[in-house]
Amino acid sequence: MSARIHRLLNNNQTPVPSLETLMSQDEIDEINDQITSVEFEQYFEDADALVNIAKGLEAIRNACNSDADYQQPITKVALEGFSTTLGIDPLYVSTEDAVVDTIKRIYRAVKEAIEKALAIVVLWVLKFASRSDKIKDRVQARLKRLRGLTEDKTVKVEVEDNLDQLAVKKQVDLAMVVDTSAVMVGLLDALSHEAELLSKKFIDGSDAKSIIEIEEALDKIGEDVISKFIDIKETDDGYVSKDVLPGNVRLVFNFKSTSPVFMFRKEDNYDDISLLTTLEEVIEAMEIVGSKSTFANLSRHLTDAKESGVTKALDNRVSKFKTGSNESAYVKSYLALAGRINALSTLPHIRISQYVSTLADHIERLAGTVETAVKQK
C-alpha cells in the first residue's frame, strides 16, 4: 500500500487549491515529466484500494452483533491487517463505533484522492497548453517572415536533419502529414463530443440502466468513433492503428479497461531520412498544420479536459455515501466508471494536442532549415 494512502487517510482535509490559482505561467513552464497520466491513475488506484478496505470493514461490522464480537481472534486478525494497511493503530479499530469512524475516514480519504486526481489533470493540461501556445507563436512568426522573403520559394532543397517526427519509416510526405493532422483534429472533435455526452449521462443519471449504457458506449468507442477516422485492428491489449502514422508511431488505445489507454506509440527509429522539398511546399504545410484555427481548436479541447465535471460529480456522490451495508460496492462501481469517463475526457485531448503540436513544431523547424538553404543558394 502506498504512502499516499497513509497521508490521505490521516490528512485533516488538506485544502486543494482552486483551479484558477494553481500556478503562474512561469511555474507551468517548469512542470516536469512527473506530472503524467501515471500519477492520475495512481490516485484512482489508491481510491479503489481504500474502497476495498471499506468493503471489508463493512463486512466485519455486519457480522458483529456486539463489541465483544470484535475481540474474536479471527476478527482481530482481520482488523489488524486492515489497520496495518491503513497505517493506524490496531487498538483503535476494536469496537463498532471505531469501525464506523474508520469507514467515514476512508470515504473522506477517497474524496481527497479524487480531488488530487483532478488537480493532476489540471496541471497536466496546463503544461501542454503552455507548450502548444509557444509552438503556435513560433509557427506564426516563422510564417510571417517566410511570406516576406524575396528569394525563389520554388528552389529544390534536400534536407537530412530532424525529420524523424515527420517520417513514416524513411519517407517524409508533407501531404500525408497535413492529412494526418486534419484527421486527428477531427477525431478529437468526435471523441470530445462523445465524452461530453457520456459525462452528462454520468452526472445526471443514477439508475442501473444509465450505468450500463455508459459502460457499453465506452466499450465500443473504437468501433463506433475511432474507426470512422482511421483503420484500426484489435489486439490482446486493446486496439492499434493499422497504419504507421507520421513520426513513426501508431495510435494505441483501450477504453474497455479499468485503466484506459490512449497514446501514440513509437514503432521504430530510422536513420538516413531525407526529403527533397521547396520552401513553397513547406509553407503550404505549415499554414494548415500550424494554422491559428488548428491551435484554437486544440486549446478549446484542452480547456474542456481541464473543466470536465465527472470527477467533481463523483466527488459529490462519495460525499453523500453513508457507512451502511454495501455502500462501498456502489462507491467502487462509480469510481471505476468515473475513471474510464475521465480518461476519455482527458487522454485524447492531451495526446492528440501533443501529437498535432509536435507535427507543427517540426514543420516549423524544417521551414527554418529550408529557409537557410534557400538564402545560401
Same domain, yes or no, for 102 and 159? no
Look at residue 272 and tell me if it is in a domain. Answer: yes
Q: Distance between CA 28 and CA 189 in Å, rounded?
A: 26
- Cα 367 to chain centroid distance, Å, stands at 31
Find all residues with CB under 8 Å of 60, minimum gap 6, and list them: 70, 75, 78, 79, 99
What DSSP state is assigned to residue 225? Answer: T
Residue 8 contacts residue 113 (beta carbons within 8 Å):
yes
Same domain, yes or no, for 99 and 244? no
Same domain, yes or no, for 219 and 72? no
pLDDT at residue 12, rounded to an integer: 56
Look at residue 318 and tell me if it is in a domain. Answer: yes
Look at residue 128 and tell me if it is in a domain. Answer: no
What is the domain count for the chain? 2
Look at residue 360 and tell me if it is in a domain. Answer: yes
Check pLDDT > 60 for residue 340: yes
Same domain, yes or no, for 59 and 10? yes
Same domain, yes or no, for 103 and 20? yes
Same domain, yes or no, for 29 and 117? yes
170: containing domain = 138-376
The residue out of 63, 88, 123 marking a domain boundary is: 123
pLDDT at residue 334, rounded to an integer: 76
Check pLDDT > 70 for residue 316: no
Residue 85 CB-density burial (10 A; 0-12 exposed, 13-18 middle, 19+ buried): middle
Residue matched to cell numbers 489488524: 80
270 vs 31, residue with greater confidence: 270
pLDDT at residue 225, rounded to an integer: 96
The residue out of 75, 91, 123 marking a domain boundary is: 123
Look at residue 154 and tell me if it is in a domain. Answer: yes
Among the ranges given (11-20, 247-256, 266-275, 327-336), the one the predictor scored with the smallest mean pLDDT: 11-20
pLDDT at residue 20, rounded to an integer: 45
**What percent of the chain clears pLDDT 90, i.e. is strictly above it?**
36
Same domain, yes or no, for 54 and 193? no
Same domain, yes or no, for 364 and 235? yes
Q: Distance between CA 373 and CA 159 in Å, rounded?
A: 9
- Model confidence at 18, pLDDT cuts 50, 70, 90, reads very low
Same domain, yes or no, for 267 and 338? yes
Check pLDDT > 60 for residue 41: yes
- φ/ψ (deg, to 5) at 278: -125, 160
Q: Distance between CA 291 and CA 142 in Å, rounded?
A: 12
Check pLDDT > 90 for residue 71: no
278-313 tens-digit pLDDT: 999 999 999 999 999 999 998 888 887 777 666 666
Look at residue 133 and tell me if it is in a domain. Answer: no
Residue 170 contacts residue 246 (beta carbons within 8 Å):
no
Find all residues with CB under 8 Å of 370, minimum gap 6, and list them: 157, 159, 277, 278, 279, 282
Average of per-residue pLDDT across 48-77? 87
- Cell readout for 57 is 470493514
Same domain, yes or no, for 82 and 210? no
- Model confidence at 61, pLDDT cuts 50, 70, 90, reads confident
29 vs 240, residue with greater confidence: 240
Same domain, yes or no, for 236 and 299? yes
Which of 17-21, 108-112, 148-152, 285-289 reaches the highest mean pLDDT?
Answer: 285-289
Look at residue 131 and tell me if it is in a domain. Answer: no
The residue out of 100, 123, 146 marking a domain boundary is: 123
Residue 212 CB-density burial (10 A; 0-12 exposed, 13-18 middle, 19+ buried): exposed
In three-state secondary structure terms, 171 is: strand
Kindly compute the dihedral angle of the four CA atoms of residues 291, 297, 302, 303, in this order, to the nearest 10 degrees: 120
Q: What angle, rounded to 10 degrees, do the helices at 3-10 and 96-147 form?
A: 110
- Cell readout for 239 is 486496439
Q: Distance between CA 10 and CA 98 in Å, rounded?
A: 15
Same domain, yes or no, for 15 and 114? yes
Look at residue 299 and tell me if it is in a domain. Answer: yes
Residue 334 contacts residue 48 (beta carbons within 8 Å):
no
26 vs 168, residue with greater confidence: 168
Q: Distance between CA 372 and CA 72 in Å, rounded?
A: 82
Q: Distance between CA 187 and CA 179 in Å, rounded?
A: 12
Check pLDDT > 70 for residue 322: no
Q: Distance between CA 360 and CA 131 in Å, rounded?
A: 12
Residue-averaged pLDDT of the chain:
83
Check pLDDT > 60 for residue 360: yes
